[in-house]
């Protein structure tokens, strides 16, 4: 009976936490399909007809930023993995002078708050002539993601059985072949885990893009933040404009939801295979 009561308390706490998380999401989804009048009267119930026009109006504003953000974030994530994977493998499987000291420098970068280096970073990007350029975000994103990606991938590569590498060497594989044909395929779930975490963080980033890109060339986070809905006649409180904003928030969240839906299996495998174990 004591165990059942303890389990019940745990379930109640989990339900409360789930409700707190889902509360704003449900509010957003409901009112993204409502009119301003319905939202003002009862924001927790759908009106007589669903207002899909809210999504069409929001899509006209968000769509160009979607393509721009996918290019920037996609290139940044791929670049991060392309640079971090061989570096992490070298830290994990090779012995060279000052290896541990170099890794501690990588690890120390995780302890530095991003806002501390924000102003020097923007000044450097400006000096390189990359303001209002995709590369003004891609290069810093790749560099900024190295510490976390190398730390996670190194932990996984250290756990790889040495017998696999020895067997590949007996078959005549050199170091490059072992990395490409053995280490990388085994690390796919871990790489997906790193890619998802990087994607979520970069997709929702507002501060750096707002300093690098112009308002006419925004990312998704910039577009929905700066979105000013048009005033509608007879809507003094502009509640219908608020509904359009809710629709834009839903559209901005779709890529992350789709990403998790298709890659959740690899994400779970990456975690359970030791991706985040010290």
Residue 18 lies in a domain: no
For the stretch 43-61, what's the b/e string if a residue is b when 16 or more beta carbons lie within 10 angstroms of its beta carbon? eeeebeeebeebbebbeeb
| Coil/strand/helix, residue 29 | helix
Residue 152 lies in a domain: yes
* Alpha-carbon span 54 to 69, nearest angstrom: 22
Taking the CA atoms of residue 104, residue 106, residue 107 and residue 109 in that order, the dihedral angle to the nearest 10 degrees is: 130
Which ranges of the chain have pLDDT less than 70?
Answer: 1-3, 5, 47, 228-240, 267-278
Residue ranges of E strands in 140-254:
none
Query: Which residues form the domain of 115?
Result: 52-275
Up-side HSE of residue 272: CA atoms within 13 Å toward CB? 6
* Alpha-carbon span 61 to 67, nearest angstrom: 12
Residue 11 lies in a domain: no
pLDDT at 78: 95
Residue 42 lies in a domain: no
Fill in the DSSP letter of residue 221.
H
pLDDT at 238: 53
pLDDT at 275: 44
Up-side HSE of residue 4: CA atoms within 13 Å toward CB? 1
pLDDT at 269: 66
Total structural domains within the chain: 1
Residue 39 lies in a domain: no
Taking the CA atoms of residue 274, residue 253, residue 61 and residue 227 in that order, the dihedral angle to the nearest 10 degrees is: -100
Tell me the pTM: 0.82
pLDDT at 276: 45
- Please write the tens of the pLDDT for every residue from 116-164: 888 999 999 999 999 999 999 999 999 989 988 998 898 888 888 888 8
- Please write the tens of the pLDDT for every residue from 93-109: 888 888 888 888 878 88
Residues with Cβ within 8 Å of residue 220, at least 6 apart in sequence = 62, 65, 66, 69, 203, 252
Contact of 220 with 69, CB cutoff 8 Å? yes
Q: Both ends of the chain: CA-CA distance in Å?
A: 37
Q: The domain spanning residue 180 has which CATH number?
A: 1.10.3720.10
Residue ranges of E strands in 149-243:
none
Residues with Cβ within 8 Å of residue 162, at least 6 apart in sequence = none
Contact of 245 with 224, CB cutoff 8 Å? yes
Contact of 267 with 193, CB cutoff 8 Å? yes
Residue 193 lies in a domain: yes
Task: List the structure tokens of 154.
Answer: 């190194």
The mean predicted confidence, pLDDT, of the chain is: 83
* Alpha-carbon span 274 to 153, nearest angstrom: 10
Residue 176 lies in a domain: yes
Phi-psi region of 129 (alpha: psi -120 to 50; beta: other; left: phi over 0): left
Residue 5 lies in a domain: no
Q: What are phi and psi of 91, to 5 degrees?
A: -65, -30
């Amino acid at each position: 009976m004591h165990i059942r009561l303890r389990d019940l308390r745990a379930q109640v706490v989990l339900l409360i936490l789930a409700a707190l998380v889902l509360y704003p999401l449900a509010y957003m989804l409901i009112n993204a399909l409502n009119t301003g009048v319905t939202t003002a009267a009862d924001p927790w119930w759908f009106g007589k007809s669903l207002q899909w026009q809210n999504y069409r109006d929001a899509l006209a504003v968000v769509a160009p930023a979607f393509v721009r953000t996918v290019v920037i974030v996609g290139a940044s994530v791929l670049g991060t993995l392309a640079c971090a994977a061989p570096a992490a493998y070298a830290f994990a499987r090779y012995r060279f002078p000052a290896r541990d000291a170099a890794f501690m420098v990588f690890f120390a970068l995780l302890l530095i708050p991003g806002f501390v280096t924000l102003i020097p970073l923007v000044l450097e990007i400006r000096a390189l002539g990359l303001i209002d350029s995709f590369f003004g975000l891609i290069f810093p994103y790749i560099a900024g993601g190295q510490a976390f990606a190398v730390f996670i991938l190194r932990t996984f590569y250290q756990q790889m059985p040495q017998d696999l590498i020895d067997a590949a060497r007996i078959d005549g594989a050199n170091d490059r072949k072992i990395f490409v044909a053995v280490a990388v395929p085994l690390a796919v779930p871990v790489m997906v885990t790193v890619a998802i975490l990087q994607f979520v963080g970069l997709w929702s980033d507002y501060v750096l893009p707002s300093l690098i890109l112009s308002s006419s060339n925004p990312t998704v986070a910039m577009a929905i933040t700066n979105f000013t809905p048009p005033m509608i006649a007879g809507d003094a409180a502009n509640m219908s404009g608020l509904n359009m904003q809710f629709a834009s928030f839903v559209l901005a969240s779709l890529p992350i939801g789709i990403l998790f839906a298709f890659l959740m299996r690899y994400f779970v495998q990456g975690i359970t295979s030791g991706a985040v174990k010290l």
